[in-house]
Structure 1
Amino acid sequence: MSATTTPWLDFLDAQGGRLSASTTPEVIGFHDVAAPASNFVAPLTHLGLMSATGDDAAGFLHNQLTNDVEKLGTAEARLAGYCTPKGRLLATMMVWKSADAIFLQLPREIQPAVQKRLQMFIMRAKARLADVSDAVVALGLAGPAAVAALAPWFPAPPSTAYGVAHADAGTLIRLPDADEISRFQWLTSPEQAQQAWPQLVQTLQPAGAQAWRLLDIRAAMPMVVQATQEQFVPQMINYEVLGGVNFRKGCYPGQEIVARSQYLGKLKRRMLPAVVNATGVTPGAEVYASTDTAQPCGQIVNAEASGDQTHCLVELKTAVLDEGATIHLGSADGPLLQIGTLPYALIDPT
């Protein structure tokens, strides 16, 4: 066990969960059993959660994030980004609303710093930010058996991506499918999660966060992590295609540059899925085109190992693919990236 612990982590440890050695531990698996590709439940302890409350909370966040928060309803969730004044993403997040708070979910490793930066700009606004990462448990459920497993608490789960259902047992959010595998996040109290766990694992196999992140990659859903902060304008990782940018809302940090990237000519960098026969691949690692050995043509956005391979999302100069170049990890003669196809269409501005 790590020195940093909570009743929820203690419970998972007692259930056979293997925890990473970190100040913010994540579950890396259960009972040394290989992670399943579907029909699993995973504690998402790698994700942090902020709440924003107060009369001005929606307006404050609306002026800081890339998406519309003021018109966010309680039956939907949205992606949003938080940018520097130069339009580079400090964070990507999922945002949803309850009757009395707005929630922002993002990687736990960057959540404290992002919260501190947002706090600096509250000033006289009637808004309060709080870290509720330990007060709210996030469970990821995936596969055709997930709906039946959730039925005792959510008999009518959301049927469309980013739909939200609220109940006494917490909040349920439908995530985009990954290769036709349905996915849900259940946000609830640690007590409710501990009570539900034995029943959930009768139907779903317990799994570590890696299984969930692999599905994120298969769905081509990027996440900015510590190693990639300030590396991407939203369009470089397809964030506007995924609904994470609203070009009709008012100003926010970096808005002018994000808008200019959208409307001044064809976008020159995009994100694509890839598989590489290598392990130890990490976000931020540079990739090179076979046609240019001198400088990188992009970098890894997210990566998860699966056996001897790593599945990744990679941000690239689109021109290198148009030229027919092959893409390699680390150097122009490094391991070959097998570039895949996105599960959604890219629509460049005209």
Structure 2
Amino acid sequence: MNVPNASATPAPAVTAPNAANPAAAAPLPLLPRPAAAEFEAVLERGAYTTLTQFGVIDVHGDDAASFLHSQLTNDVQHLDAATARLAGYCSAKGRLLASLLSWRTGDTIRLLISKDLQAAVQKRLSMFVLRAKAKLADASGQLTVVGLAGDVRKALSHVFDALPDAVHVQVDGPAGSLIRVPDAAGRPRYLWIGPQAEVAARLPKLEGALTPVSPAVWDWLDIRAGEPRITQPVVEQFVPQMVNFDVLGGVNFRKGCYPGQEIVARSQYRGTIKRRMALANVAGELAEVRAGSELFHSDDPGQPCGQIVNAASAPEGGVDALVEIKLAALEGGSVHLGAAEGPALRFLTLPYSLPAEV
């Protein structure tokens, strides 16, 4: 799965910020552990949070859809105005440079992406526009992203005339776009992305009915939904199937070529998927349990068997994490953080089933 796609044009990697790359965004900050009442608000009532951990790229122009279709793992060419789609952006080696949520609003295609990757991914995509009639712009400064979870439909009905009933259905209105995203912990979730002034004017309609919570609660909900988010520490670490993108509908195996497509398809059809993403809890705090941290198996302490994809403080203590791991490591023994003698992971059940690997 590491063989380069010889037909793809080389391009600079998506890199972490450094002195030679001052335009790159700073790494995402570690968010403090939310109070127990914040988790309770989501699980028992309804809550909302402003999601500063995301950025938004707007793509305009007659060729916006066909251009993105040639770059991303999912079908953008046939993306309609009522649908949002998860997609990946891969390197020529088929490794994920970013995870994205895409949707249309008017004549624009929007891409929701981890804030720490927004600038680098936008720059890389722009390099491949060439003669296509497409232009990419950073819309993060003009938009506010709000996450809502729990019993929120009545409150949302005061902002939007219609509400999406199915996952990845979206509606547009004067307040922006409202997208239903996968449930987490048995609670419905929505993303509201709208112009800053419009969101600011309407947020008071939610404040009396819903509880404001930390964006760290949304990170935990994403993990409990089993939906990975590629951030700087894990750029180019995973073929999409390693983080269950095929199961989540983030890969269309019938569409045309995109960077890394040959390797992604080969992994799918030749039975070479020996690593998957699992859900686990581990003792500790986010300072120790972080994206990119290595995992070790009790029977093979000399080499890592996987790594953490995303992590978030859990309401019952410790940290919940999505972990990419060798399937064989789940068959017996124990898995530990950082070293074979490190804290042991307690594996939980994902909210969806994985295909049987041959």
TM-score by length of 1: 0.89
Q: What pairs with 1:1-350 in structure 2 (closer than 5 Å)?
A: 34-37=37-40, 38=42, 39-144=46-151, 146-265=152-271, 267-279=273-285, 280=287, 281-306=289-314, 308-322=317-331, 324-348=332-356
Q: Relative to 1, partners in 2 of residues 1:245 and 1:34: Cα closer, same or farther, differing over 3 Å?
A: same
User: Aligned partners of 1:216 and 1:95: how far apart in 2?
Assistant: 17
Aligned equivalents of 1:30 and 1:288: distance in 2? 26
The verdict on how the C-alpha distance between 1:349 and 1:25 changes in structure 2, with shifts beyond 3 A counting, is closer
**C-alpha separation in 1, matches of 2:47 and 2:276:** 31
Counterpart Cα distance in 2 of 1:50 and 1:245: 20
Inter-CA distance 293–116: structure 2 relative to 1 (3 Å threshold):
same
CA distance in 2, matches of 1:31, 1:45: 15
Report deviation, 1:35.
2.4
Identify if the C-alpha distance between structure 1 residues 333 and 292 changes in structure 2 by more than 3 Å, giving closer, same or farther: same
Is residue 95–residue 102 contact of structure 1 (8 Å, CA) maintained in 2?
yes
Contact 1:27–1:208 (Cα < 8 Å) also in 2: no
Root-mean-square deviation (CA), in Å?
2.0
Identity percentage of aligned residues: 48
Deviations 1:257-298 (A, max 9, x none): 000100111520000100001112110000011110100000
Which structure 2 residue ranges, 5 or more long, are not aligned? 1-24
Deviates most, 249-258 or 155-164: 155-164
Distance in 2, matches of 1:287 and 1:30, equals 23
Once the two structures are overlaid, the 10-residue window that deviates more, 25-34 or 298-307, is 25-34
Please say if residues 137 and 190 of structure 1, whose CA atoms lie closer than 8 Å, have aligned partners that are also in contact: yes
Rounded Cα–Cα distance in structure 2 between residues aligned with 1:278 and 1:41 = 26
Q: Residue type matched to 1:179 in 2?
A: A
Distance 1:143 1:95 in 2: 23
Runs of 4+ in structure 1 off by over 2 angstroms are 22-37
Further displaced range: 184-193 or 210-219: 184-193
Structure 2 counterpart of 1:164, one-letter code: Q
Q: Deviations over 1:299-321 (max 9, x none)?
A: 00000123640010001000111
Q: CA deviation at 1:29?
A: 7.8
Q: CA deviation at 1:81?
A: 0.3
How many angstroms apart in 2 are the aligned matches of 1:31 and 1:315? Answer: 25
* Structure 2 residue matching 1:231: 3-state secondary structure: coil
SS at match of 2:154: helix
| Contact map agreement 1:29 1:35 (CA 8 A) in 2 | no
Task: Report the residue type matching 2:153 in the other structure.
Answer: V
In structure 2, C-alpha distance between the alignment counterparts of 1:33 and 1:133, rounded to whole Å = 30
By how many angstroms is 1:190 displaced?
1.1
Deviation at 1:36, TM superposition (A): 2.5
Q: Secondary structure at the match of 1:293?
A: strand
TM-score (norm 2): 0.87
CA distance in 2, matches of 1:348, 1:160: 27
**Count of paired positions:** 327
Q: Would you say the 8 A contact 1:137–1:189 is kept in 2?
A: yes
CA contact 1:26–1:44 (8 Å) conserved in 2: no
3-state secondary structure, aligned to 1:272: strand
Contact 2:144–2:193 (8 Å) recurs in 1: yes
Are 1:138 and 1:185, in contact at CA under 8 Å, matched by a contact in 2?
yes
Task: Supply the distance in 1 between the matched residues of 2:101 and 2:28 (Cα, whole angstroms).
Answer: 21
- 1:222-271 per-residue CA deviation (whole Å, 9 max, x = no partner) reads 00000000000000000010000000000000000000100111520000
Task: Pick closer, same or farther for the CA change 1:222–1:32 going to 2, 3 Å.
Answer: closer
CA distance in 2, matches of 1:321, 1:31: 30
Query: Residues 109 and 226 of structure 1 are in contact (CA less than 8 Å); yes or no, is this contact kept in structure 2?
Result: yes
